[in-house]
Structure 1
């Protein structure tokens, strides 16, 4: 569910179209959960849903000049997300029926996937540096898709404690990733779902 709109949508899209990273960060945070929930509903795995969601935001950033002329952001996001998720689901189905020779040719990874995987591996290294309880809470939330309430019940702690652990984990990981990665847009996309 998107966060309540605390900004003028047309103004925000115009700022993104001009290349303002701060506006794009706000945009990602406002729409991450909606797109991710659609992706996971169709793709059925957290890892694939996160990858596709990040690809969608990367695509939006790369074609940001178009955003200034979008009339209905809701419709535009739906179409972009639907197409990307559909393509990913189609690839999954093709893997079941296409002979392995064709599959290998189709499975060549673009540079953006390689970049994403390297950044994701860096994130996993950062997660390993977290104190044990924070690591457990972060992993259950971000990789397991559990809500704060579910984590609190599973670990026998108050949901406010879960929230604090998540906030501290995300804060640490943002600093860690900024120190070890040079691509600010990948970081915006990566942490768009971690706010």
Structure 2
């Protein structure tokens, strides 16, 4: 980023901190398309992507007084967008797990909404790819906790390992899943 652009952005952030709607509009016009492209790339849904854009800029507006004016706002916006995407994937995972628990024989999404089906299919493919990339023991422990609802002690007895080892494997599996979702 050029020095002139940094100064301009710093001025916009200073104005934003003073509740300038004009500065907010300029920042929105400058960065909303980039945030939208990032969101649509993973969500495959224009509606959900637009919601991410709105959420990111709402957060910018609510955090405006606490923002550091000499830091690049674009990096902050991208980070917030990625976190919103991760939260969206977590929400879909919870919904998927809940549906799986109640409807083991029923397809995940009965909706006729094409966007929802594409979103669920894309997420499921990415999520399954991440799970399949885990070491065998981590996959097994994840399965026992999420699918069978076993406690760490019960898993330890089944696998003939200590509960602390189960906990360690679970933590590593969840860390890897989080990292992979962040990379999406």
TM-score, structure 2 normalization: 0.48
Q: Which is bigger in relative contact order (C-alpha 8 A, separation at least 6)?
A: 1
- Give the alignment's TM-score, normalised by structure 1: 0.45
